[in-house]
Structures are given as structure tokens and as C-alpha cells.
């Protein structure tokens, strides 16, 4: 079995965007691909941020919802719509408007268990893998880690679905 380091399990065929990309183009990536986040890179593939599906969806929620620890009392969310998805048609909304500027990043030689701990601590399901100069080398997801640890139990004929 290969060593349980990020470099042995990370995804290197990356879907990325740039800070100046239109937000509708980023939204289209989420609609077209089974991805949870898109790293944002600048010149020479240097990591500068990340946009998760939750970040993008949160952009359309009223800001005051974050003030409530429990939103179960809201019966009809349609009355709260402060923003229509049609704003994505605007050329003014860019990736930089939604991205998180300091995504959790790790080195390729990071142990998978440390990655799992970082994901849990930061509430994320994807970590960016970078070199010493912050060049994006790949990403590792919670699914990649689960496959690394539990893949030996995978027997398609025994799956319940």
C-alpha cells in the first residue's frame, strides 16, 4: 500500500478560476461538475483563494441570517429573498467578490490523518496542495481521504445501492 501522504491521493487535474472571472462562470462550473470548491489562482498558478459551493450559495442569503443561532422559526424562506439569482447575469460580479482569501493549504508530504483533522477543524471538505512558493499542485477532498482509508472494503457486488 502506498504511503498515506497527500501526494499519493491528491487530485492533480484541477478545475480553477481567476479573481477576475465572472461569478456566473464559476456558478456554471458548480452546475456542470461534481465539485465542492474551486481554487482561485493568479499568474503562474499561485493560489490566492477558494470558492466553495456554500460560499456561492451564501452570497445570495440575507446577511442577518448569520446572527441567528437557530433559524428553525423561519417558516417561509421565500419571503427573505433579498437577492435574485438574476444578478449572476451581471458582468460586475466576479470571483473575487465571493472567494475566501486564505484557504487552508497543505504540502504534498502531509499525512492524510492531519488533513482530516484540518478539514474538521476548518469545517471544509477540500484542501489545496501547494509547494513552497504557494503554486497550486492539486487538491485533496474528504472523499479522496475516505477512499484512501476505506477503499480496500469496496466490493461493488456488495454495495447496498
pLDDT digits (tens, 9 = 90+) for 114-149: 999 999 999 899 999 999 999 999 999 999 999 998
Q: What is the pLDDT of residue 111?
A: 97
pLDDT digits (tens, 9 = 90+) for 63-91: 555 555 565 655 555 555 545 556 677 77
Are the C-beta atoms of residues 8 and 115 closer than 8 Å to each other?
A: no
Confirm whether 77 is domain-assigned. Answer: yes
Confirm whether 117 is domain-assigned. Answer: yes
What total number of domains does the chain contain?
1
CATH code assigned at 107: 3.10.580.10
Confirm whether 15 is domain-assigned. Answer: yes
Confirm whether 78 is domain-assigned. Answer: yes
Confirm whether 104 is domain-assigned. Answer: yes
Confirm whether 1 is domain-assigned. Answer: no
Q: What is the pLDDT of residue 160?
A: 57
* Domain ranges, residue 151: 6-158
Confirm whether 121 is domain-assigned. Answer: yes
Reported pTM: 0.80
Amino acid at each position: 500500500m502506498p504511503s498515506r501522504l497527500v501526494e499519493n491521493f491528491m487530485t492533480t487535474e484541477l478545475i480553477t478560476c481567476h479573481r477576475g472571472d465572472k461569478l456566473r462562470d464559476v456558478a456554471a462550473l458548480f452546475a456542470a461538475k461534481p465539485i465542492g470548491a474551486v481554487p482561485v489562482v493568479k499568474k503562474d498558478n499561485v493560489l490566492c483563494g477558494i470558492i466553495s459551493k456554500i460560499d456561492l450559495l451564501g452570497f445570495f442569503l440575507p446577511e442577518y441570517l448569520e446572527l441567528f443561532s437557530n433559524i428553525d422559526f423561519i417558516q417561509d424562506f421565500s419571503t427573505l429573498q433579498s437577492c435574485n439569482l438574476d444578478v449572476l447575469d451581471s458582468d460586475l460580479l466576479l470571483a473575487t467578490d465571493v472567494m475566501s482569501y486564505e484557504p487552508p493549504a497543505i504540502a504534498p508530504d502531509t499525512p492524510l490523518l492531519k488533513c482530516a483533522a484540518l478539514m474538521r477543524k476548518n469545517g471544509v471538505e477540500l484542501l489545496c496542495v501547494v509547494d513552497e512558493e504557494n503554486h497550486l499542485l492539486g487538491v485533496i477532498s474528504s472523499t479522496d481521504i475516505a477512499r484512501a482509508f476505506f477503499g480496500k472494503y469496496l466490493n461493488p457486488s456488495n454495495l447496498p445501492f
